[in-house]
Structure 1
Amino acid sequence: MHLSTSARRLAISIAVLSSALAALPAAWAAPVLPGDDFFDYVNGEWLNSVEIPADRSSWGVGAALVEDTNLRIVKLIEGLAAEPSSAEAKKIADYYASFMDEAGIEAKGLAPLQPALAQIAAIGDKRALTKALGASLQADVDPLNATNFFTENLFGLWIAQGLKDSAHYTSYLLQGGLGMPDRAYYLDDTPSMKELRGKYLAHIAATFRLAGIADAEARAARVFELETKIAATHANREDSADVLKANNNWSAADFARKAPGMDWAAFFASAGLGGQKKFIVWHPTAIAGAARLVNSVPLETWKDFLAFHSINQVSAALPKALADQHFDFYGRALNGTPQQSLRWKRSLAAVNAAMPDALGKIYVAKYFPPESKQRLQQMVSNIVDAFHLRIDKLDWMAPATKKEAHAKLKTLYVGIGYPEKWASYEQLQVVPGDALGNLLRAERLHTQQQLAKLHQPVDRAEWCMPAQLVNAVNMPMQNAINFPAAILQPPYFDPSAGDAVNYGGIGATIGHEISHSFDDQGAQFDSKGRLRDWWTAADGKHFKQASAALAAQYSAYKPFPDLAINGQQTLSENLADLAGLSASYDAYHATLANKRVTPEADQQFFIGYAASWREKERDEALRRAILTDGHAPDKWRTATVRNLDAWYNAFNVQPGQTLYLAPKDRVRVW
C-alpha cells in the first residue's frame, strides 16, 4: 500500500500545493542539499512551520486529504438527513445521527451493553465458553495488506481464495486475542514497553470500574496475565508476513489433534463455519496455544477477558466516560495524541465502518468525474507498459520467468475509483437512537456477507477498499489493484497539473501497487493468483540478493538512537516504492516522446514524489509504526530516490553527500 496506517497532510491548501509544485524552479532555497537529506530538502520549511493537530498522532499529505474528504461526506450526509433519496440513504443518515446523539447515549447508560455482559456471566463451563468464543469471531481484513492487523477477538477470520486454489474461497484463521497491537508490547523488555504495559493494565481496570464491574483491579490483572500468555504463542511480525509459513492446510478434523484443548466442532458451529471442511491456519502456534489456554486457564478468567473486550471494542457507542477512557489509552498513551477527535469525525468513522459502499456511492457521484477516470486509466496503461519494457531489459531474468511476469501484467485487474458492484445493506437494520445496536448489527452483517462468499464463485473484481478511502492496495491472490476515488485528487493526482507532478505523485503510487505483484510477497503468486514458485533457481537467487541489499539499506536507518527500522519487516513496501518510482519515471519519459528532457523536468518529478510523503509524527506514534508497520516511515521511504541514477543527474548529487551511493551499491531489482 502506498500510505501507512496514519494518513498524511499538508498545512497549505491541497490545490495550492499542486500548482506550487508545477511551478517550482530548478533550484530553490533549502537548508540542506538534496544529496544529504532529500526529504528535508523538499519538505523542511513545512516541517518547521507545521504543528500536529491536537487530535492527531501525525499530520501530513494524506491526513489533509482525509480531512477534506470527510468534510465533503458529512455535508452529503446532512443533505440526506434533510431529504433522503432512498432507504439506504435514510439508513446512512440515521446511523450517523445515532452516533451524534451524545445525550441519548448518556441517557441509556450501560443498559444497551447489559444483555451481552449477562450472556458472558451466564457461561457455566468450557463448552459454553467455546461457543461464546466462536460467536465472537468476526471477518477481518486481508493479512497480506493489513500491516497493523490485530484483533481483540481470540482469532481473526479472513475469507479469500485459497493460496494454491485461486478458483475457490476458503476460511483463514489468524492469531488474535490482544488488546495491544503486537506481541512485542507484552514481551519486549524495554522501558517504553514496560511503561505501556502499566498503562494498559490500568486501562483494563478503569474500564471494568466504569462498567460497574466489581473487583476491577483483580479482574484486570487476570485479563492482562492471560493476554501475555496469548502473546507468547503469537508469531512475530516477520514470520507473520511470510506467506510460505502461513500456508498450513488443516481439515476440520485436524484441529482436535493439532490444537487440542477446545471443542472445535462447537466453536465452528457457533462461528457459522460448521459446514467447512478445510481451513488455512495462518498462525498455527497461536491457534494451538490459544486452545491450550482455553483448556488450562480458569473459566472465570476467560469470562473477564470476554467482558473486557466486549466493552473495549464498542466504546465509541458507549457513554462519554468509557469512550474517553478508551481514547486515554489508545490515543494518548499508545500514539501520543493529546486530544480526542471531534464527535462528528468519530460518528463518520462509525458510518464508514458500517456502510462503506453506501457512502462511497454518494461520494463518487459528486466528486469523481469520468474525465479523471479516463486520464488515470491512460496513466495506468503507460506504467504497465513501462513495467513490460523493464522486464524485457532485465539481463538476469530467464525467458520462462519473464513470460510469467508478462502474464501477470496482462491479466492484472486495475480498479480505478470505485467497484463495479456495490455492496448491499438491504439486510442491515438501522434503528434511530440505537448507536450500539446499529454497530453490532453492522458487524454481524459484514461477517455474514463474508461467510456467504464461501458458497459463491470467486470475484476477481471484488474491492477490499471503499471509494472514499485515501489509500491504494494490491491483492496478489486476485492479481488485482484498487485505487479508490479519494486518493485520486490533488496533490496525488491533479487534472490541471503537468505530467511531471502527476507521475511523481499518483504515478509513483500506481507503480508502487503494480510492483507489489513482483515484491518479495507478490512474486510468490503467479498470474492466476496461485502461490507457486514460477522463478528459475538462478532468478530467485538474484532477486533474493537484491532484496537483501535493500533490506540492509533500510535496516541502517535509525529514527531513534535505540530503535532502527526493520529492513526485513518493511521489505515488501520498500521494494514496491523503488520499482514503482522507477517505472513511473520511465512512463513519464515515454509521454515526452521526442521532446528534449531537461533536468528541470526531472526535478519536478522527484520533488513531486518527495512532497507526496510530507508527514510529521509524534514520537510515540513513530515508535509504534517502526515496531508494527510494514511500511518504513515516510522520511525514509522518500530516501529510495538514492537508488535511481536519474535522481543523481537531476540534482547533481556527489560523493561524500549523505545519501550518495556508488553506482554498484544502488539497488536495482525490476
Structure 2
Amino acid sequence: MSFKPLARVFWAPGALSALLLAGCATSPQNPPPPPPPASAPEASATSASKPSGVEAKNFDTRVRPQDDFYQYVNGGWLQNTQIPADRARYGTFIELLDKSEAALKEIIEEAAAAQDKKPGSDAQKVGDLYQSFMDTQRIESLGLEPIRADLKQVAELKSADALPELFGKLNREGVQAPVALFVGQDAKDATRYIAYITQSGLGLPDRDFYFKQEPRFAEVRTAYQAYVEKLLTLGGEKNAAAAAKAILALETKLAEKSWERARNRDREATYNLKSVAELEKFTPGFSWSRYLKAVGAEKTPAVIVRQPDFFQAMVATLKTTPLPVLRQYLTYKVLDAYAPLLTQAFEDTHFAFRGKTLQGQQEIRPRWKRGVETVEGGMGEAVGQLYVARHFSPESKKRMELLVANLREAFKQGIDQLDWMSPTTKAQAQDKLSKFTVKIGYPDEWKDYSKLEIVPGDLVGNVRRASVFEFQRDLDKLGKPIDRKEWGMTPQTVNAYYNSSLNEIVFPAAILQPPFFNPDADDAVNYGAIGGVIGHEISHGFDDQGSRSDGDGNLRDWWTAEDQAAFKQRTGMLVAQYSQFNPIDTMKVNGELTLGENIGDLSGLTVAWRAYKLSLKDQPAPIIDGFTGDQRFFFGWGQIWRSIFRDEFLRQMLVTDPHSPGPYRVNGVVRNMPEFQQAFGVKEGDGAWLPPEQRVKIW
C-alpha cells in the first residue's frame, strides 16, 4: 500500500455516503436458467435482439434462487475465482479498479517518458512524481535523510505545551496525531465553510481492536507492538521494545474515550459548535488558538467539535504522559506515515503488518501500481482529465442522465405512495428531492495544480508538498462562497456517493461500465445494476442520517414526530435483520453501523424497480436468454456484489466498514421485496422467504 496525502474531504463525516468497494471476475459453464414464473405478464413477449447483460456463466444451479439468490447468481464465480496475492479482497469493484489502474499507468508512463515536457506543466509534475516513486536506487541511497528534519523536530519537543504547534504541522503534512482537522460546510449553515476537529491518533484500524478479547484481536495487538518496535528500531531508537509497549499503552488510553463508529454516524451528536474561546475553556491545557494558527485555520468562524469528551480525555492523557513517551509516539507516527516511501526495509516492515497481518495480503502490490496510487493521491484530477478524454463517451453520460431522471421520478412517485408518512412530511421530502444536484462522469472545472511543486527525485518531499497543497486548498475555502462544482472523488474512482451538505449525488466515469452499466445491453439488467446504484445514492438523502438534512443541506428536523417514530420503527426492523447475519467466526454484521448503507440498498433497489417499470411504458418486457425482464432486473443487482474476502480483511471490515459484505447486500435486500418473491416464485419455507409482516419497506 503506497502512501497518499491525507484524504481532504469537504463534507463533515456522516454527511457523505459512498457506495463502497466490493468485488468481481469470470467463471464456469452456462447452466440452464430457472423457468420464468407463469404469472409474469412478460412471459409471452418475444425475445429481443439486445444482449441480456446477465452473466449466467457465473451461476451455481445446484442452489435454488428462491433459497440463496446471491449464491445462485455468483456461486460459479465464487468457486472458480481466487483472490490475487496482492489483494485483500476481489470482486466487481476491484476488477474495474484494475482496469482503471492499467489505463492510468499508460497515461502516467507516457507523461514520464515524454521528452518535451513543459516545466511546471501537469504532465511534467505527473511524470516526475511517478518517476520519483519508481527510482528505488535513489530511495535506498537516501535512507532516512528525507524525514530527518521531521524526526529532529519531534526529538526537540521540549514540553507538552508545544504539542498544539507540532500537531498542526503533522496535520498539514498528512501524519497522524490525536487530533485531526478538516474544512467542510457547516452542517447547520450550509452557506459557509467551517473547521471541524475529530478524534484520531490510533494506529490500529478501530478502537475495538484495542479491547476485543477474541484470540484474533489479541494476536493483532501483539503483532502491532512488534511492528511499532521494528519501525522504531529502523528509525534509530535505542530502547525500541520499551517504547513500543509505552506507545501501545498510550493509544489504548486514547481508544478508551474514542467514540465507536456507530456513534460517530450520528450527525447531531457530532455537531458541537464552539468558539475558539469556548474551546480553550473546554479543554484547559491545550491551546486551540495556537493549534489553529499552526495548522493554518485561523479564519474559521468557529469550530465544530465532533467528539467533545474525547478531547477532554486526550488533553488529560497528554498531560500525564511522560515527555519521552510523547516523543516516541510522534516519532513512530512519522515513521509509520512515510515507511512506504523509504527504503526496502521500511517498506517490507510496513507491508508485513498493515498489508499481511491486518488484511491478509500475501504479496505487496507491484511497484508500478503503488506508483500509480501515489500519483492519484497527489494529482488525481490531473490524470483524471486525461482518463476521461480516452475512456468516457458523451453517449454514456447522456444515457446516465436519462436513467437518473427516471429514478428521480420513481422516487417522487414512491414518496406520494407511502402509507406511513403524513402529507406534511411528504411535502418536505419532495422539496428535498427536487433540489438534488446530479454529477455524472467528471467535474465541469478541474483542479489547478499550478502551485504544487514536484521536484525530480524527491519522493518524500513531493508527497509531503502534495499533502500540504491539498490541505491548504481546503483551508483557503474559509470565508469564501460554497464551491458547488467541486468533486469529492476523481473520475477514475470506481465508486459513487451522496453528499448531504450539498444535497448531491455523484457518479464518476469509472463505475459507468459493465457489469454496472452496459449501454449495449437490455434495460432490465442496467436498471437492476446501475439503477440500483443510483437509487442507493438518492436514498442516502433519506436514510437515518441523510434524512436529517433538508433540501438546502442544513441539518434540521423536518419530520413530524409521528412520521419520525414510524421511520424509526422500520429502520429498527432492518437493524435487527442485519444484526443476525454471521459472516465469520462469531462475528456478526453491526446492524447499527451499517444501517445507512442497508437503507440505501433496500430503498435504492425498490426505487430502481419502480423506475424500470416506468421505462417499459406498460409494454411487456421481452424474454432474453430464457429470463423474464423481472428476473434480469434482480440478476443485475445480484451480480454487481459478487466478492470474496480474506478472513483478516473480513474481520476488519465487520468492525470498521459501514457497508455489509456482498452476500447480505443481495440476500438481505431481496427477501424484503415482494417483487422478488413474485419474480422467482418464492414460497413459505424457501430460504429467501420472509412473512409479509416482517418485510421492511421504507421508501
Q: TM-score range by the shorter chain?
A: over 0.9
Q: Which amino acid aligns with 2:530?
A: I
1:570 aligns with 2:570: no
1:170 Cα offset (Å): 0.6
What corresponds to 2:105 in structure 1? 74
Tell me whether 1:111 sits opposite 2:136 in the alignment: no
Q: How far 1:27 moved relative to its partner?
A: 13
Please, which of 687, 691, 695 is the counterpart of residue 658 of structure 1?
687
2:74 alignment counterpart: 43
Query: Is 1:648 matched with 2:677?
Result: yes
Change (3 A) 1:559 1:85: same
- Residue 131 (structure 2) aligns with: 97
Pair 1:370-2:394 in alignment: yes
Task: State the alpha-carbon separation in 2 of the partners of residues 478 and 139 from structure 1.
Answer: 27
Are positions 1:623 and 2:647 aligned together?
A: no
Relative to the length of structure 1, the TM-score reads 0.95
For the 8 Å contact 2:183–2:194, the answer to whether it is kept is: yes
What is the percentage of aligned positions where both structures have the same residue? 39
Output aligned runs, 1:399-418, within 5 Å. Answer: 399-418=423-442
Quick one: distance in 2 between partners of 1:436 and 1:28?
Answer: 47
Shift of 1:222: 1.5
What residue in structure 2 maps to residue 189 of structure 1? 213
Shift of 1:21: 5.3
Aligned partner of 1:145 in structure 2 is: none
Q: Which amino acid in structure 2 is aligned with residue 526 of structure 1?
A: D
AA matched with 2:697: R
Report the equivalent of 2:632.
Answer: 604
Q: Does the 8 A contact of 1:316 with 1:346 survive in 2?
A: no
Is the CA contact 2:440–2:506 (under 8 Å) kept in the aligned structure 1? Answer: yes
Structure 2 unaligned runs (5+)? 1-16, 29-49
Give, in whole Å, the separation in 2 of the partners of 1:290 and 1:23.
53
SS at match of 2:274: strand
Alignment of 1:8 with 2:23, yes or no, is: yes
* Secondary structure, counterpart of 2:535 in structure 1: helix
The structure 2 residue matched to 1:633, chosen from 649, 661, 664, is 661
1:235 to partner: Cα distance: 0.6
Residue 9 of structure 2: aligned partner? none
Return the offset for 1:526. Answer: 0.3
Q: How far off is 1:400 after superposition?
A: 1.7
Output aligned runs, 1:330-341, within 5 Å: 330-341=354-365
- Deviation of the 1:24 alpha carbon: 6.3
Give the Å deviation of 1:559.
1.2
Give the letter for the 2:442 counterpart: Y
Distance in 1 between the 2:639 and 2:143 partners? 47
Alpha carbons of 1:194 and 1:29: their partners in 2 closer, same or farther (altered >3 Å)? closer
Give SS of 1:527's match.
coil
**Deviation of the 1:81 alpha carbon:** 2.2
* 1:544 aligned partner, one-letter code: K
Q: How far does residue 82 in structure 1 lie from its aligned partner after superposition?
A: 2.9
Is residue 139–residue 158 contact of structure 1 (8 Å, CA) maintained in 2?
A: no
User: Quick one: which amino acid aligns to residue 656 of structure 2?
Assistant: T
What corresponds to 1:614 in structure 2?
642
Greater RCO structure (CA 8 Å; 6+ sep): 2
Measured in 2, the distance between the counterparts of 1:94 and 1:491 equals: 35
Pairing of 1:398-547 with structure 2 (within 5 A): 398-547=422-571
Name the SS for the 1:422 alignment partner: coil
Structure 1 residues 519 and 139: alpha-carbon distance in aligned structure 2, compared to 1, 3 A threshold: farther
Distance in structure 2 (CA, Å) of the matches to 1:409 and 1:462: 20
SS across alignment from 1:419:
coil
Quote the residue 1:153 is aligned against: 177
What per-residue deviation string (whole Å, max 9, x for no partner) do you get for residues 108-165 of structure 1? 111111111111111112232331112112498xxxxxxxxxx832222221111110
| Structure 1: tracts of 5 or more residues without a match | 14-18, 141-150
Say if 1:185 and 1:197, in contact at 8 Å, map to a contact too. Answer: yes
Q: What is the match of residue 147 of structure 1?
A: none
Instruction: Give 3-state SS (helix, strand or coil) of 2:541's partner.
Output: helix
Which SS does the other structure have where 2:189 is aligned?
A: coil
Q: Which AA in structure 2 matches 1:302? A: L
- What is the alpha-carbon distance in structure 2 between the residues aligned to residue 657 and residue 560 of structure 1? 23
8 A contact 1:235–1:285 mirrored in 2: no
SS in 1 for 2:184: strand
Preserved CA contact (<8 Å) 1:139 1:156: no
Conserved 8 A contact 2:54-2:635: no
Label 1:190 to 1:28 Cα distance change in 2 as closer, same or farther (>3 A).
Answer: closer
Displacement, 1:93?
0.8
Could you tell me which residue of structure 1 aligns to residue 325 of structure 2?
301
**Equivalent residue letter for 2:111:** L
- 1:520 is paired with a residue whose SS is coil
Question: What is the alpha-carbon root mean square deviation over aligned residues?
Answer: 1.8
SS in 2 for 1:377: helix
Deviations 1:4-58 (A, max 9, x none): 34x4221469xxxxx9752568997611111221110100011011111111111
Distance 2:309 2:169 in 1: 22
1:431-473, Cα deviation, whole Å (9 max, x unpaired): 1111101000000011100101112101233211111100001
> Is the Cα contact below 8 Å between 1:2 and 1:512 reproduced in 2?
no
Cα separation, 2, equivalents of 1:121 and 1:181: 26
Q: Distance in 1 between matches of 2:320 and 2:448?
A: 43
Q: Could you say which structure has the higher helix fraction?
A: 1
The residue that corresponds to 1:388 in the other structure is 412
Give the superposition deviation at 1:72.
0.7
1:258 equivalent to 2:303? Answer no
Q: Aligned residue for 1:127? A: 161
Q: Is the contact between residue 139 and residue 159 of structure 1 (CA under 8 Å) also seen in structure 2?
A: no
Query: Match for 1:53 among 48, 68, 84?
Result: 84
Distance 2:698 2:348 in 1: 48
2:89/2:645 contact within 8 Å kept: yes
2:572 partner amino acid: A
Determine if contact 2:412/2:433 at 8 Å carries over to the other structure: yes
Q: 1:381 to 1:217 in 2, by over 3 A?
A: same
1:63 Cα deviation after fit: 0.3
Residue 347 of structure 1 is aligned with which of 355, 362, 371?
Answer: 371
Task: Report if the CA contact (8 A) 1:609-1:638 is conserved.
Answer: yes
Give the Cα separation in 1 of the matches to 2:250 and 2:357. Answer: 21
User: What CA distance in whole angstroms lies between the structure 2 residues aligned with 1:594 and 1:515?
Assistant: 25
1:476-516 Cα distance to aligned partner (Å, 9 max, x none):
11101111111111111111111111111111101100110
Match for 1:655: what amino acid? Answer: E
Partner residue in 2 for 1:397: 421
Distance in 1 (alpha carbons) for counterparts of 2:662 and 2:616: 29
Give the superposition deviation at 1:260: 2.2
